[in-house]
């Protein structure tokens, strides 16, 4: 598709039509609460399909049909008062998307003294019904579980409850990332690093959990695109390099121009295939044009990563998915692996050769020439950066032996200190459980030796994403 369909939220409230003639003003009051919920969610994401207050089975079918035809991706069910489950189930069965049940009381508590002074039991009952959102939730949960409806709950207050609204925000963000992944086009250029068995991936398994599309791309295509790049385009891209990176004095003009040519060709390749992420590796022997392209690819791929098209080296497809997830959460998502352990400082040094997510770098990313790519063919320019100091999250998409994917994650701190100035991305991470235990616990779940790192602590969002995608999530710390 040339354009990804908009992410849409479905919203409806529930009630019981029998109440309206019995309790004057109750319906209007509950509709006012629903409007407040709409406004709060619209501040998080504007595309909302609001089916209003559903209080009969007929309205339930109408709402469900509307949600399905308008293509909502997630439904927020606001429980305003008691309602029959028969007026809820048709909505979600028609829509067939995950449901977040909002059990939100209008206030922290009923004003018991004022309530009991009403001296009108009909008015008192109407007042109580405006507060009894918790009442039908067990009934709804029972019916959803028995009919196979995927649902989750947020319990709290409509007003003055930041914990509750943080939960709702995270559900919105997790659903948006699931939507992004379902339409993402992942390019796989080249081939696996021979013998690196942990990174070999079952591509159909990736489709099962994430959706999207995987495009297999020949390195020859990139090499061919390089030939059409003009000298003017190369000069402009070199100037962009100087503006974006801290280009070191020992970087030759020839290498900068070579990297610029490849960077422009990469932009054209990603546009041609509408890529949202990419994994690549190519041995680069026996064909000069291909070797020239691959050995000059790091700066261009770093620029792509910074603008939301994360690129993983060594054909690490699972990690390209992890990087895309992190980037879609606004956390970045840079390619990383263990570099060394520092038992004096109780930290783990982590980084990788190849492209880095320069948008989450601490300071300006350096460009350095490497006269040998360790373990790989060729030479050229590379990037050296550390992830911003402060909270970070690690994420690995793990291919398990049981045929399922697992999201393995951990929260840490990126801390200042000396790094290995070898022209690679590398950072110092401190874990709440200590470096020794972190490494043991992380490894025990069988991830590949690569993972993605992003800024901020976002594990609570990743857990919600896992629920939406039907994937187990393990948090190490």
CATH number at residue 410: 3.20.14
H or E stretch at 30? helix 26-44
- Rounded-to-integer distance, Cα 104 and Cα 101, Å: 9
Whether residue 142 sits in one domain with residue 16: yes
- According to DSSP, residue 385 is labeled B
Residue-wise burial string across 407-416, b where 16 or more C-beta atoms lie within 10 A, e elsewhere: bbbbbbebee
- Rounded-to-integer distance, Cα 279 and Cα 286, Å: 22
- Report pLDDT for 286: 76
- Give the total residue count for the chain: 477
> Which pair of tokens denotes residue 111?
């004003």
Q: Which domain holds residue 375?
A: 184-475
Regions of the chain where pLDDT drops below 50:
none
- Mark which of 119, 146, 181 sits at the end of a domain: 181
Q: What Cα–Cα distance (Å) separates residue 182 from each residue in 8, 73, 473?
A: 14, 11, 19
- Report pLDDT for 134: 93
Whether residue 190 sits in one domain with residue 175: no
Whether residue 174 sits in one domain with residue 194: no
Whether residue 98 sits in one domain with residue 41: yes
- Report pLDDT for 1: 62
Whether residue 279 sits in one domain with residue 376: yes
CATH number, residue 65: 3.40.50.10940
- Report pLDDT for 285: 75
- Report pLDDT for 228: 95
- Report pLDDT for 375: 66
- Mark which of 161, 181, 201 sits at the end of a domain: 181
The total domain count for the chain is 2
Q: What is the CA radius of gyration of the chain?
A: 26
C-alpha closest to that of 171 among 321, 40, 323: 40
SS3 content of the chain, % helix, strand, coil (to 5): 40, 25, 35
- Mark which of 116, 148, 181 sits at the end of a domain: 181
> Which pair of tokens denotes residue 75?
């439904």
Whether residue 260 sits in one domain with residue 137: no
- Assess if residue 27 is contained within a domain: yes
């Amino acid at each position: 598709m040339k354009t990804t369909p908009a992410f849409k939220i479905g919203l409806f409230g529930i009630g019981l039509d029998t109440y309206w003639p019995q309790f004057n003003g109750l319906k209007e009051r509950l509709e006012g609460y629903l409007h407040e919920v709409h406004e709060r969610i619209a501040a998080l994401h504007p595309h909302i399909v609001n089916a209003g207050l559903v209080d009969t089975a007929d309205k339930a079918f109408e709402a469900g049909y509307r949600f399905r035809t308008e293509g909502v991706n997630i439904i927020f069910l606001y429980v305003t008062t008691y309602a029959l489950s028969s007026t809820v189930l048709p909505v979600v069965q028609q829509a067939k998307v995950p449901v977040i049940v909002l059990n939100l009381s209008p206030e922290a508590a009923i004003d018991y003294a004022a309530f009991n002074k009403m001296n009108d039991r009909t008015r008192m009952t109407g007042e109580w019904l405006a507060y009894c959102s918790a009442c039908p939730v067990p009934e709804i949960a029972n019916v959803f579980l028995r009919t196979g409806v995927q649902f989750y709950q947020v319990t709290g207050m409509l007003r003055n409850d930041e914990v509750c609204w943080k939960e709702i925000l995270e559900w919105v963000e997790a659903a948006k990332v699931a939507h992004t992944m379902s339409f993402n086009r992942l390019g796989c250029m080249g081939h696996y690093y021979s013998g690196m068995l942990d990174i070999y991936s079952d591509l159909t398994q990736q489709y099962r959990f994430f959706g999207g599309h995987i495009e297999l791309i020949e390195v020859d295509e990139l090499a061919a695109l390089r030939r059409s790049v003009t000298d003017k385009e190369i000069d402009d891209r070199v100037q962009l390099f100087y503006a974006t990176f801290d280009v070191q004095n020992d970087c030759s003009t020839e290498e900068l121009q070579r990297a610029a040519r490849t960077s422009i060709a990469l932009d054209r390749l990603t546009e041609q295939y509408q890529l949202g992420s990419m994994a690549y590796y190519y041995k680069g022997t026996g064909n000069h044009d291909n070797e020239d392209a691959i050995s000059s690819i790091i700066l261009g791929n770093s620029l792509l990563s910074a603008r939301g098209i994360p690129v993983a080296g060594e054909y690490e497809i699972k990690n390209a998915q992890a990087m895309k997830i992190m980037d879609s959460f606004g956390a970045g998502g840079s390619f990383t692996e263990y570099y060394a352990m520092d038992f004096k400082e109780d930290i783990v040094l982590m980084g990788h050769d190849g492209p880095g997510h320069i948008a989450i770098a601490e300071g300006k990313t350096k460009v350095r020439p490497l006269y040998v790519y360790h373990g790989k063919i060729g030479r050229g320019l590379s990037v050296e950066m550390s992830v911003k100091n402060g909270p970070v999250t690690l994420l690995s998409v793990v291919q398990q032996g049981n045929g399922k994917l697992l999201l393995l994650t951990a929260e840490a701190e990126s801390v200042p200190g000396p790094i290995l100035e070898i022209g690679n991305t590398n950072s110092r991470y401190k874990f709440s459980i200590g470096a020794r235990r972190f490494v043991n616990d992380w490894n025990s779940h069988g991830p590949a030796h690569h993972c993605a790192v992003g800024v901020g602590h976002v594990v609570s969002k990743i857990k919600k994403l896992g629920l939406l995608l039907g994937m187990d999530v393990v948090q190490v710390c």
